[in-house]
A = this chain, B = another copy of it.
Amino acid sequence: MKIGELAKQSGLSAHTLRFYEKQGLISPSTRSESNYRIYNQNDLSTAKFIKRSRDMGFSLEEVEVFLSIRADKPAHICADAKDIAQQKIVDVGQKIKEMQQVLVALHKLSDACCGGSESAEFCSIIEALDDRPLTDHTSHQDKQVGTKEDVA
């Protein structure tokens, strides 16, 4: 099959397949007389393998290692594959933790702000980002300044 067909069947774009070829991940088993890339079922398996690996969060570099294991299984041991998976688990877990902390901070930041159409003069978000301690102004009642009517 030609690249367009492989793209359709693998879920990768033709562009991406050529890009992967440049990166050394996959290459067509043959070329047609007119130099078109011709892929076979084996190539399709490989393309799907790459796609599945990417979907699992592995980088192209890691996929490369998986491919080399897959290409010659007896030459590798389970630890080769599992080490990568374990490391990815650690990395993803770490990132999740970081993002959860960010999320908590964001909630604190956001919850203190009324979010209404009042002037941002006392907006706790801006104040908190500025330097000052987080002051709750979910209501602006207590800090009327008179420069603006209460719009809300």
Contacts and interface: CB of A to CB of B under 8 A. Distances in A.
Contacts of A92: 99, 102-103, 106
A6 interface: no
A118 B76 CA distance: 8
Say which size band chain A's interface belongs to.
Answer: 35 or more
Nearest to A80: B120
Contacts of A35: none
B89 A49 contact: no
A7 interface: no
A9 to B, nearest CB: 12
Chain copies in the assembled complex: 2
A114 B78 contact: yes
Interface string A114-151: 11111111010110011100000100000000011001
A144 to B, nearest CB: 14
A13 interface: no
Contacts of A125: 66, 78, 81-82, 85
Interface of A: 45, 48-49, 52-53, 56-57, 66, 69-70, 73-74, 76-83, 85-86, 88-89, 92-93, 95-96, 99-100, 102-103, 105-107, 109-110, 113-121, 123, 125-126, 129-131, 137, 147-148, 151
